[in-house]
Structures are given as C-alpha cells and as structure tokens.
Chain A
Amino acid sequence: MIKLKLLTISLCVKDASLTDTYVKLLYISKVNFVVSSFKNIFNASKTLIAYLNSVFKDAGNVSLFTIRFFKEAVKPPFEIKEFVKQCYYIGYKSLTLVGITGFIMGLVLTIQSRPTMAKFGAESWLPGMVGLSIIKEIAPVITALICAGKIASGIGAELGSMKVTEQIDAMEVSAINPFKYLVVTRIVATTLMVPLLVFFADGIGLLGGFMGINIHSDFSLYHYFSKVFDSLEFIDVLPAVIKTFFFGFFIGLIGCYKGFTAVNGTESVGKAANTGVVVASLTIFIIDMLAVQLTDLLF
C-alpha cells in the first residue's frame, strides 16, 4: 500500500528530490518488512521451543513416574485389598460395555464383509477372516480404546480430584505412601484386566460374527468355530495377546500420571481426565503400529 502511494507520487511529480525520497522510503519499508519478518520468525521459533520444551519436560516426568512405579511395585507392603478392588472396578465393571461393543464389532464386520467375499466366491472363508480380524486387531484395539475412554478418564478424574481436595496430601501426612496405594494398584490392575477384557471381547465378537453369518446362511456353531480356529495359528494370537498387556499398562500409567500430577484447581480435574483419554488413545495406536512392525520383522 505504501509502495503504491509512493509510486503514484513519484509518477505524478517528476521531481528528482521526490524520487530520491521515494527510493529512501522504499528502502526503509523493505528493511521494516525484513525486520518484522525476522521478528515473526523469532516469535514463532520461541513458541515452538517453549512447546518442545514442555513436551520434553513432560516426557521426562512420565519416565520418572514410570521408574518410580517399578520401584514401588516390587517394594512391600503390597496393597492387595485395593488392587482387588481396582480389578473389580476396572475389569468386572467394564464387562457390559466391552461385551456390547465386541458383539456389534463382530456382527457388523461379518455383514459388511459378506458381499465382497461373495463376489469372489469366498463366502466359506468368512469365519476365518472374521476370526483373524477380530483376534489379531479389532478386539484388542477397540477394547483398548474403550478402556482408554472409560478407565484412563476415570482414573485421571479420580486422582485429579483427590489431589485438588488434598486427599493425597492427607495420605502422605498420615505416613501412607499414596503412590503405592493409588498408582501402583491401578496400573497393575489395568495391565492385568485389559488383556482379560480383550479375551472376553474376542469371544463375544466371534459370537457376533456367527450371528452375522447366520442372517443369510445356515452355519452351525461348531462348524463356525472350527473354521475360525482352523484359520488361526499360535503365532497370530501371541503378538495380539502381548500387545494387550502394553495397552493396559499405558492406559493405567497415563491415567494415573495425569491425575496424580494435576495442579491445584478444579479445572485441572477435567483437564486430567480429558488429556488422559487423548494421550492414552494415541499411545494405543502407536503401540499397535510398533507391535505390527515388530511382528512383521520377527515372524
């Protein structure tokens, strides 16, 4: 805009001194432009550095939290009663949700895959395909995501509100180790319960698949399951089972970390629950990707 104005002036008035002024002003505006660009780049990099700094700081804190978990987990006394209580809440109380999801997963997968399989005349492979998909990938990932939503947010909100209302401090001043009582029990419980929930989802998902197949054809349960198990090998099941332990561990770890490190203020409770779910879900996908790559390399 300034450039245009100056150009108009210099064209209208053909005065040497004015043209000279125009050149000077143009130079100044160019310099200003370069300086402001540098300023913007500097500010942007400052923001980026601050963001990266917080990411690395968070990563460092999570690592310290994980190390502390392993240290405290092997040190007696063990909070068995609280651990059993957590297994009940995390495992048993999630059965309905995981069951319904697993059933729908199996049913929908079968119904949607049937037309494509039928096109290639491979309808008889449907049970095997459904079994492989559910056991290797769909049940572990979907169950873990459901657990991330239900468990990680629950733990994050629970511990966050305990932190904000000084309940964790109250434990500490009564010479009770809150990390051992609240964090270790929950992480161990999620590590053990998520694989069991996945196992449950596998079974219910396969039943859903059986129902889906029987909408259009007449398959006996025995025939269906024998087809499913024929298509499965031990090597298919093993990596899927192993990764569920990691899913469970990280769901518990992230939920506990977010809740336990919540800063004072009610706002942080919601934030702990929210970020707990987001980070846990993202972590599940990353672990899944790594597990698939590793399985591909090893087997």
Chain B
Amino acid sequence: MTLRRFLHKHPGRLAAWAFLGIAIVATVFPFYWMIRTALTPAGDLYTDSTGLWPDHPTLINFSRVLGFLDVAEAQAAGGSGARIDFIRYLMNSVIYSTLVAAVQTFCCAMAGYALARLRFRGRDLMFTVIVGALMVPPIFTLLPNFALVKNLGLLNTMAGLAAPTLLMTPFAVFFLRQFFLSIPAAVEEAAVIDGAGRWMIFWRVVLPMTRGPLITIAMTTAVWSWKDFLWPLLVGPKEQTRTLTAALGIFLQQSPNTRPDWTGLMAASTLSIVPVLLLLVFFGRRLIDSLNFTGIK
C-alpha cells in the first residue's frame, strides 16, 4: 500500500502521528534554538535572530564562557566583564554528581539489603520512619542543614555540598529495599550453607544480582544532583565549589538586566545539557526502561 493510500484510509492515524510529531518538535526545537543562539556572535544578535542558522556561526561564546579568553577579549565578544569559568563549574558538577551517586548508592544498597533480608528488632519501625521522611518537603530540612554546614565551617567545600545526600536519601533506601525483597531467598541460603559471611553474601551474591537497579538508582541520583540548584547556590556559591546550575543562576544575575548576554547564557546552558545527553546516548534504554518501575510501585 502506498503512503498516500494508507493516509487516505486512516485519517485518524495521520492526525495521531501529526500530534506526536508536533509534540516532539515542541520538545526538541527549544534546545536547537539554544544551540543556534550559542553559535551566534553577540554583536549579530539584534540583526540576526530569526533565521534557522546564524549568518556567521562561531564558537567564541563557548570559549569565553569556558574561560579560554582573557577578560578584555571576552568583553569584546559580548561578555559583561565578570569572571566566568564554566570548565571549572562543569568539573564541580561532575564531581558532585558522581561522588553523591556512587557513595549514596553503595550505602543505600547496604541498608536496603539489611532492611529487606536481615532480621532484627525494630526493623519495620525503622523502615517506616525512613519512608515517612519522603513526605517532608526538602526546604524544611534545608534551613537547619544550611545552619549545620555553616557552623561546621563547611560552606564552599565539596564536603559541605555533598554532606546531606552523600550517605542516603529515603527514596534510594526504599527503592533498593524493594528490589532486595524480590531476590529468591534460596540463593542466599545456599551461600549461607557454604559458610559465607553476611558481607561476602552481600558483596559476591546479592550485589551482582541487582546490578540493574543499582545502575538505575545511581543514574537517577546523578541526574538529581546534576539538576540541584538551591542547595549548591546557598552552600557553595564560591568559585571553588560553584556547580553548573548555581553558576548559571549567578551568570544571569551578573548579566545586565536591560541587555542580557544571551549568546553567552545559551552557550553556558548548552554545556549544562551535554553530560545529560551523553547519559541518554549511552544509557538511554536503561534509563527509559527504569521509568517502568521508579515512578510506579
């Protein structure tokens, strides 16, 4: 059947595909426009802001937000003169997300395992209390946590930045416990009879069996930390710990209100989506399949 005849016979399908197509374009086009703007010379913005491709494409906006140009050169290319060094913020964000994702996943796996598999007094109460914390909006604990980190002298340190989420989030504990519950007990019993200790069972038997969920939760945690804005802005605004999101917020504020540095801002914004896109390219299927159980159950 030709396409034409197919569409003639199924006008509903055509409308459905059209709707889906529009949704995809509406989703993706803004990102295209972000990159298009980032490739436009700042001076051209007023004369060249409608075409689908810039008249004089350039990478200078990237080199100036990455801190490759000195202040005078950056200013000549449209910068406000404030120091920006996105390569550093990018690194800070990568370190923050990776550190939190790795340590948190490991600690929560241990706890999830104990809560699912080991018998001890107070286990169910402990689990209930931890899950109950899911109901507390983060801003409520954020105020005292800020005071704590400040009093410990950890403002503008990676330790202070990572501290509240480094060891656990209630969600990760909950999520991993559910998975450990589904491992057949027979596997562990066989290992117990072999005389393996609890730690060996966890390390050699249980962890390898739950690789999928572990990667899923680690990725989700990394994405959350990557997107995190308010906490890094409050706790680590200084250069040495400024994350990419905090830097974007600060960059916007430093940019003149009347004439924001759009080309620079869009170049910096583009940087903030690159790692996420890489994640999607390399782990896309796993990430998408993971939605089948993170959101539901």
Asked if A and B are interacting partners, one says no
Give residues in A with beta carbon < 8 Å to B: none
Give residues in B with beta carbon < 8 Å to A: none
